[in-house]
C-alpha cells in the first residue's frame, strides 16, 4: 500500500476532506440541538439505530465525520484507507437518501427539494470509490 498521497489526488482529498471535517466540527458544536432530528432520520433509514440514544448517536456521527475528514486531509494516510473510509461513510449517506421517504420523487432517483441536501452526497461516494479503485488497480 502506497504511503504518500499522489499529487493528483490532493484536490479531491482536500475538497472532500474539508467539507466532511467542517460538517463534523459543526455537528460536534451543536449536536444537542439537532440530535433528535438527525437520529430520527437515520433510524428511519436504518431501523437498527432506533434504540440508540439520539445524543450518543449524533456525537459518534460527529466523531466519525471528523475522523474521515482528517484522514482525507492528511497526506500520510494512504489513499486506499482514506478512500475506503470515505466510501463507507458516503455509502451510508446515499443509503439514507434512498431509504428515507420524501427525499426522492415518486418512482424516481431524482431528489425532491427536501432531498437535495442528502442527494448531493453521491459525489463523496464517487470520490471515495475513485480513490479505492485507483489504488487497487495501480501497477
**What is the model's pTM?**
0.90
Q: pLDDT tens, 79-124? A: 999 999 999 999 999 999 999 999 999 999 999 999 998 888 999 9
CB 6 within 8 A of CB 78: no
Cell of 109: 432517483
Strand pairing partners for 104?
A: 111
When pLDDT is averaged across residues 48-58 and rounded to a whole number, the result is: 95
| Domain boundaries of the chain, sorted by first residue | 8-137
Of the chain, the percentage scoring pLDDT greater than 90 comes to: 83
Amino acid at each position: 500500500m502506497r504511503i504518500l498521497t499522489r499529487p493528483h489526488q490532493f484536490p479531491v482529498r482536500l475538497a472532500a476532506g474539508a467539507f466532511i471535517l467542517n460538517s463534523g466540527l459543526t455537528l460536534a458544536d451543536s449536536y444537542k440541538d439537532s440530535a433528535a432530528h438527525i437520529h430520527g432520520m437515520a433510524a428511519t433509514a436504518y431501523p437498527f439505530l432506533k434504540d440508540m440514544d439520539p445524543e450518543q448517536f449524533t456525537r459518534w456521527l460527529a466523531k466519525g465525520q471528523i475522523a474521515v475528514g482528517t484522514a482525507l486531509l492528511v497526506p500520510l494516510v494512504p489513499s486506499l484507507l482514506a478512500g475506503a473510509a470515505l466510501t463507507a461513510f458516503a455509502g451510508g449517506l446515499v443509503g439514507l437518501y434512498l431509504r428515507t421517504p420524501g427525499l426522492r420523487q415518486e418512482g424516481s432517483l431524482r431528489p425532491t427539494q427536501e432531498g437535495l441536501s442528502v442527494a448531493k452526497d453521491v459525489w463523496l461516494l464517487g470520490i471515495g470509490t475513485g480513490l479505492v479503485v485507483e489504488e487497487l488497480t495501480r501497477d
